[in-house]
Structure 1
Amino acid sequence: MAKFAHDEVVPYQQSEKGKKEQVAEMFNSIAFRYDFLNRFLTAGVDIQWRKKAIRQLKDIQPQLVLDVATGTADVAIMMHRMLKTKKIIGIDISEGMLALGREKLEKLQLTDHITLQTGDSETIHFPDNHFDAITVSFGVRNFAHLDKGMSEMYRVLRPGGKLVVLEFSRPKQPLFRKMCDFYTNVITPGVGRLFANNKDAYQYLNDSVQAFPEGDNFLNIMHEAGFTQTYLKKLSFGICTIYCGSK
């Protein structure tokens, strides 16, 4: 099994728990502020990033979709609205995030179209060639074993299906990159401590982005998992990147 630098990045340095357990614990602790801080820290631009990622599936019109690391179901809800997808299964390792997602679905009366359940990318409890599409938004850098997660997603995707990954990245322009590094390393953890009482969670955000194998490196990882017709789209001058691949 290949190891990547971000596999070793964890939210709580002093903890003896594994990355998966620590990430679940972290998201449980910040779930109540997660949506608010997403909007606040990105000035709402994250909504546009998610919509652009979902549009990458428009050409195949998927009817059965798996949303990995679904969190509070933001992408699942947007996808149903934008693509009229019949059924979306959202999985996440954080019960706290899923609980908030289920509340949203109840209020929006979408429980017939979107189902949330505990699960993670390394062990997806569905048969081979099952889903028309798979989405992951800001979740792949949280995988404890990236190659295992990618291979498992490839397994449950049907031939002709498409994977869309949305993830933070680092801008290439030196001055803008320095500004972004300052924001994610200083401002973001400070805001996390102020609003969610959890500086570690938002410091982990920065550390995991810094260590993530972005750009062509991630496309190569997708290729190794079996994906073809891969491509990427940089958003907001490289702050965020969409990665796509087919089976």
Structure 2
Amino acid sequence: MFSSIAPRYDLLNRLMSLGVDQSWRKTATQLALQNRPASVLDVATGTADFALMLKKALPSVQVTGSDFVPAMLEVGRLKAKQQHIDITLEEGDALNLPYADNSFDALTCAFGFRNFANYERGLQEFHRVLKPGGRAVILEFPPPQPGFFGMLVRFYFRTVLPTLGSLVSGKKNAYTYLPESIMAFPEPEKLRRMMEEAGFSTSYQVLSFGLAAVHVGVKR
């Protein structure tokens, strides 16, 4: 599914975020680079949007992007080449990362964590490959909150977005699955507890009235 939408994946993120995902990424970038890490692993990097933003924000950092979809990585490599930005993009399973323990100063995951088959296993891998004191930053779409605004968001995700996605890409199934994955994702407070159980000291903030949330975990 992800291979089939790789050429339009960046557009999908713009549609799902109502066009404000880049501002959220900037917030997550500041949090990830707060301590000026020498190395960052961007997990579920997709087409490398976030990996490229990290490198632009801190040119000295060594950025490695990992994803399990080769077609996504090829789009990311093309973007990096066009922008003359030096990052490493590698195929890898987020639930069994191909890196040694204590390898990275920071780790990021933007809009990919909810697609993991096992959240706990993913967090354990994040913790394993980070150096002690390293920071994990997870940027995600939490489930829409109760109330009128949340009702509008649910209507958009379940009705408007699949129609738009189908018109743009012809891949309605993907544009139906991805919004539904948001509805099934843990609430921000539950994700915070899961990160604590995995060995992180964790805080989070919600963005744009709850459309997104960014969690920061420091490896204890």
Q: Does the aligned pair in 1 maintain the 2:200–2:218 contact within 8 Å?
A: yes
1:167 matches 2:140: yes
Alignment correspondent of 1:44: 19
Alignment partner, residue 3 of structure 1: none
How many pairs were matched up?
219
Residue number in structure 2 paired with 1:19: none
Corresponding residue for 2:204? 232
Q: CA deviation at 1:137?
A: 0.3
Q: Give ranges in structure 2 of 5+ residues lacking alignment.
A: none
The secondary structure found in structure 1 opposite 2:133 is strand
1:211 is aligned to 184
User: Alpha carbon RMSD of aligned pairs, Å?
Assistant: 1.2
Tell me by how many angstroms 1:196 deviates: 1.3
Is the counterpart of residue 147 in structure 1 residue 111 in structure 2? no
* 1:134 counterpart residue number: 107
Letter in structure 2 aligned against 1:56: L
Alignment CA distance shift 1:163-1:29 (3 Å): same
**d(CA) in 1 for partners of 2:28, 2:95:** 22
Matched, 1:33 2:8: yes
Structure 1 runs of 4+ with >6 Å offset: none
**Counterpart of 2:41 in 1: which secondary structure?**
strand
- With normalisation by structure 1, the TM-score equals 0.85
Aligned counterpart, 2:31: 56
Contact kept? 1:92, 1:117, Cα under 8 Å: yes
Residue 44 (structure 2) aligns with: 69
Q: CA offset at residue 105 of structure 1?
A: 1.0
Q: Which residue of 2 aligns with 1:179?
A: 152
Distance 1:233 1:132 in 2: 22
- Preserved contact between residue 15 and residue 161 of structure 2 (Cα < 8 Å): no
Structure 1 residue matching 2:96: 3-state secondary structure: coil
Distance across 2 between alignment mates of 1:122 and 1:186: 32
Structure 1: stretches of 5+ with no match in the other structure:
1-25
Q: Distance in 2 between matches of 1:214 and 1:244?
A: 15
Distance 1:140 1:36 in 2: 19
State percent identity of aligned pairs. Answer: 44
CA distance in 1, matches of 2:188, 2:2: 26
How far apart are 1:170 and its partner, in Å? 3.0
Q: Show the counterpart of 1:222.
A: 195
The reply to whether residue 91 of structure 1 matches residue 66 of structure 2 is: yes
Residue of structure 2 in register with 1:15 after alignment:
none
For each residue in 1:16-64, what CA deviation from the matched residue of structure 2 results, as whole angstroms up to 9, or x when unmatched? xxxxxxxxxx110001111123234434311111111111123211110
CA-CA distance at 1:120 after TM superposition: 2.0
Residue 200 of structure 1 and its aligned partner are, at CA, apart by 1.1
Aligned AA (1:181): R
